Structure formats: structure tokens, C-alpha cells
Amino acid sequence: MAIIYNEQTKTFTIHTEKSTYQMKVDQHGMLLHTYFGAPTDESDYSYLIVPEDRGFCGQPAGAGDDRTYSMDFYPQEYPVHGNSDFRVLCLKAGLKGHVPTLDLRFFSYHISRGKYALSGLPALFGEDEAETLEIVLKDLFEEIYVHLYYGVFEEKNVITRTAVIENRCKEPLEIKRAMSLCLDFMDNDMELVHFYGKHACERQFERVPLLHGIVEIGSRRGASSHQHNPFVVLCRKETTEDAGACCGVSLLYSGSFRIQAEAGQIEGTRLVCGMDDDEFCWTLEPGESFTAPEAVFSYTEKGFSDLSNGLKAVFHQNLIRSEWKDKKRPTLVNSWEAAYFDFNAEKLLAIAKEAAELGLDMLVLDDGWFGVRDDDNSGLGDWNVNEGKLGCSLRELVDCVNKMGLQFGIWVELEMVSEDSNLYRSHPDWAMAVPGRDPNRSRNQLVLDLSRAEVRQYIKNVIDTLIQSANITYIKWDMNRSMDNLYSAAEPGAPQGVVRHKYMLGLYEILEYIHQTYPEVLVEGCSGGGGRFDAGMLYYTPQIWCSDNTDAVERLGIHYGTSFGYPMSSVAAHVSECPNEQNRRVTPFQTRGICAMQGAFGYEMDLSAMLPEEKDCAKEQIAVYNQNYRLFQQGDYYRITSPYENHDVTVWSYVSRNKETAVLCGVYTDLHGNAAPARAKWKGLEEGAVYDVDGRKFTGMALMRGGIVLPKPECNYDSFMIFARKV
């Protein structure tokens, strides 16, 4: 069994393939955290906790005169506000009108086969390969219960966490903070890896030492955001890609979040993560409960690559539910950078004709096809097809595209509304804006109140009408602003933090409806590119537009950071025109293609205006991707060199699961006179196997230990793609 309870020592020990996690119910009923690290036995590791009388560290109820016992430096499983722990906490709650204070003690536990499920929230699934541990804690003074759930995927080296707060009191309970996870390590010599950014520059890798105090990342923007990502890694100073202890934590939530890491006053490092609690105050009536989003974590002592590939595998197999999970994703051309708002059916069909000749699978019609929408200042909310602009009906356009042998996809931004729209004029109260104040605008649009059932139903009706109107097999689901000044006319007294969470629950309901009603439709998530690229969205959308920045060189860093926590099959990446729209850089067509092949592959350009040599290169790229799509979509991904450390060349590779095929790719980012030869060492190959590389034979051991000499660059931003096939 992966979960073992020892009645004598009152310890819960959880084993995964590469880790052991342990908790203990102590003599006062407190649930202490005693061990998390390399696999070990079921010994009671509470001996590592050293009781001592420490100044200004108070004692909880029942400790009596024992001044050596304090929650202010003891490692805990779910620390709460109110029992003299002054570190970052998981839960702050109390009866309405009373001082928020809790003192949780062990009440009961239950171990079961299969993985627990969450209603209305994304979560890993796995009936036959997981176990669930439920530990119930009860407040010492009130009928307030907290159910801690642990989902254990032993063979996949992953544990999940969530907390359900239950009110059995006769009075309402107010929850002001409800985090999903706490990890208490007993030492404080650790570093934090996180992924910061901005629009068009998301998930930039940063590794910092944890000093005494609190390091915090998060989002208050109503979405997981371009600025920070709800995935972090705690590691040792000596940890590298290939060796060393590290623990990855991913929050399965797409809204505002908070992750805090604190190096303790005495010793220890605590990390908590969950929903953002800014302006959060959730009221639980008697008999009601509240569920925190799920967090997923994994520990290994084999370095970042092992951690990444383990997390990505479980996300692919136990989080993504789409019918497209293991199917070949369509290679496509998107109309946005090809035409922006300036198009008609004739223009779109010209692009489609070229797409079919090049061997692409799909044409995607982006923004501008509906309402009065010739720029981004009007029309959002009016999802009727602008047949005057197209020159035909949507069905007629789609039928023409289908006759060319292409599938058809379409862009929507159903969470937003323009003030210059019929929808807003009919239902101004559906938009979130503070009464009596001129609303904050972003991209000249407002946010629809998805906490309202009638708004959610309106959006579902739009989806039904759209998908049933034509043969649409792909939807790009966009969202293009941060949320602030949130106010729901349906619940005027609700704090903004509550509105943000109810909005997210509403969005998940809509996406679940699409998943259940139209399982054959491929849905791609988007929020101005990568502003909502998180594990929560993968539960509903198997791929996400990685960034609005399509520059091949800047995408190297974006893909590098993204690859730490997310399957590369979920990374939508396209070849675009040069000079690049975002930074005006010019890169070779070949390089743009090799970079885009790191993810779900496509083009973002006017194919009808391509040069003959570009068409030849595109045909070759599409053929290579189609021939090797299983390798690109399902192979293990390895970061060979970092664009943050090696400024000359960025190298990565894919290795098929059976290790029969591998590909080594790279982009030169700087050139030098009289340059030394560049070499790279492959990873993940079968050591004793022999591989053919461009007609030469090498053992897997030779390629991984000695490496290979890389082709000499012939121009600025030159690139290469080298295949190795087992013989």
C-alpha cells in the first residue's frame, strides 16, 4: 500500500516511487509534518522535531506549563490562524461576528482505493492507480471541520492535496483564507525556482535563494496571469538538471492565486499555495462546505529533468481529458497575423488554398468575424456572423474550406463585452463595474459576470448556436484583460475576492459544458497568449496559446520556462512573418519552424503572400512534423542548454517513450569570429543501443557521455534539427 497508518505511533506514511511523506498525530491531537524526502521506511520521524523553550513562541490550548511546545516553530500539516503560529498560514476563519480563530485537532481518518474527485474544480483522476487518504481535523471549541485530502499516485511519484472546510455550527462561518497545501521542510537551506513575466514574455526562469522572511508570488488579476505562474520548484543549492533534490508544486487553478515561501526564525522552510485571499471572505451557512482548489506536488533527488518529465506525464495521462489528448493535433494556419480585422471570404479562401497545397490540416478564423468588429473597440458580446463583411454565411465559408480538404476553427472571447455592443445595451448589469463610477477599461472592454447563471446560460447558447451552424472542429478560447473593480449586480455586497472565485467557478462550468457536449471539438485556451497558462486550464483545454510573442528567439526562453511544469504537447506555437510583429527581429524561416515544432505546430501568417522558397521550406517543415508528430507530442522533452546561461546556442531534445527515435534541436543566438566548435550531450537514450545519426552509427552511451559536434552556423540565428534512430 502507498498509504500506511501506524496506530501505535499515530503516523501516516505515504510512499511514492521516489519519495516518502509522513505526518503524525501528537499527544495533543495536533497533526504535525515529520518527513518529506527520499524514500525511507515507516519509522516515526517525529524525533527530528526538537522541543525547546523559545522566547515569544506561545503555546496552544492544552499545552499547560510545557513551554517547549509551540506551533510557532513546529512543522505542521495544515497551519491555521489562532493557535500562536505567526508564520504563513493555510486557513483563517471564524464564526461571523467573532474574532477569526481556530485550533484544529485530529478527529478521524479514512483510506480508500481510487482518487477523490472535486465538484466544479479541475483535479487529477485515476481510479485504478491511486489511493486517497482523508484526514479530518476539528476545531477544539466549535463544530468546524477541515477535511484534508491526499491523492497518491505511487508509481507516478505524485501526491495531490486539497482541503474542504465544513460548517456544522448553528451560525454562519466566514472563511478569509483557505489555502490548498502546506509543505514544512525542517531545514532552510533551499532555493526557489519560479516563472515570472509580462505580456509577450511569459514564464521566464528565475532561481533565487530563500532568505529569512517571506518570498511571495501570485496574481490578483482574476487569472493566473502573464506576470507569475502557479507552478514553483523548491530545490537545494546543488540541484541541476540531472541531479539533486527538488520538489515541484503546481496549483490546478486558473484564477488569482498566492504562493508564499518562508524561511523560519529557528529553522525550516514553509511553502503554502492556494487561491489569493485578497478581499476574500466566503460565508458558509450551517451545513455548507467550501472546497479549495487542488494542488499537485512531486519530489525527486534526480534533478529538474526527472521532476519535469514526471509531472508532465501525470498531467498528460491524469489531467487532460480531451479526446485530442493522444490524437494528432491538426497543423493549422491562424488568420490573425495574416489579416487582422481586414478580411473577407475571398481573402480567407486564398489562404486556405495555400494551406491545403502546403499540407496543413486546418484554417482558423480569428477575431473580427462577428457583430460590428473592425477593430477591438466594439462588437464583443454580439456573436452573430457579420455576413456583410464575409460576403457569405459562415456555413458557406466553412463548406468551401472543407472542400479544400481542411478543417475549420474559430476564435471567440465570450468572457468579455464591449460597451459598444447590442448585448451591453440590453444588459449593462451583466458587465462587472462599480456603480456610480466610470469603469476601468482594458482593451476597451469589460468583463461579463460569470458568477450569474443567466450570463453563463447566454454563453452556452452562443456556443451551441456557433458549433451547430457549421462544421467547426476547433475553438480558440481567448480572454484579453485583467480583472479589477469587480462588482456583481446580482450580489452587490460580495467582496471582490469572492466575486473573483465565483467567476472562476462559472468559467469552469462553461468549459465543462463544452467538454461534455462537444467532446469532438478541440479547444485551445488563450489569454492574450500565455496569461492563463496553468494546469487548471489543461483539465478543459489540451493545448494553450503559449504567448502572443511569436519571435523564435524570445520563444526559446518562454518554451524553456514552460517546459518545467507543462507537457510540450500543450504548447501552441506558430511560425510567423518577419520582421516579427512584437520585436521586429528577422530570423530564418527554418529557425522559426524548428522553434515552433516544440509544441502544437502551425502558422500565423498570410500564406498567399509567401515567397517560393518559403513555401518549399514550409512544405518540408509540415512533412517533418507530420512524420514525427508522436515524437513531438508524446516524447520526453529534455532541456540540453539554457538560454539564460548559454547565450550562444539553445539546445533541446525529444526522445520517444520506447527510446527508438530522438531528435536534437537548437538555435544559435550569438555568433563569434574564430569560434570554438559547439557540442551537446543527448539525454534519455538507451545506453547500449546503437543509433543512426545522419548515416553515422553511435551508441546511446557515446551520444550521452561524449555528445555530438553541432553543425557550424551559417547565418545569424541559424538552427539545426538532428534525428537519431535506433538500428
Provide φ and ψ at 164, rounded to 5°: -115, 120
Provide φ and ψ at 696, rounded to 5°: -105, 150
332 vs 328: CA distance, rounded Å: 12
CA distances (Å), origin 599, targets 331, 444, 530, 665: 11, 32, 14, 13
Choosing from 262, 294, 534, 548, which is the catalytic residue?
534
The three grid cell numbers given for residue 316, joined into one nine-digit string: 498528460
Give the three-state DSSP class for 700.
helix
Choosing from 396, 614, 620, 648, which is the catalytic residue?
614
DSSP 302-352: B-HHHHHHHHHHHHHHHT---TTSSSPPPPEEESHHHHTT---HHHHHHHH
Q: Cβ distance 446 to 433 under 8 Å?
A: yes
Give the three-state DSSP class for 453.
helix
Q: Is 278 one of the catalytic residues?
A: no
CB atoms within 10 A of CB 342: 10
Q: Is 534 one of the catalytic residues?
A: yes
Question: From edge to edge, which strands make up the β-sheet containing 696-699?
Answer: 636-639, 649-655, 661-668, 719-726, 690-693, 696-699
380 vs 478: CA distance, rounded Å: 12
Alpha-helical (H) ranges within 600-692 are 612-627, 629-634
Q: Which of 175, 179, 143 is nearest to 162 (CA)?
A: 179
525 vs 505: CA distance, rounded Å: 16
How many Å separate Cα 145 from the centre of its chain? 30
CA distances (Å), origin 467, targets 174, 394, 463: 42, 11, 6
281 vs 438: CA distance, rounded Å: 26
How many Å separate Cα 333 from the centre of its chain? 25
Q: Which of 339, 209, 230, 270 is nearest to 79 (CA)?
A: 270
Q: Which residues are catalytically annotated?
A: 534, 614
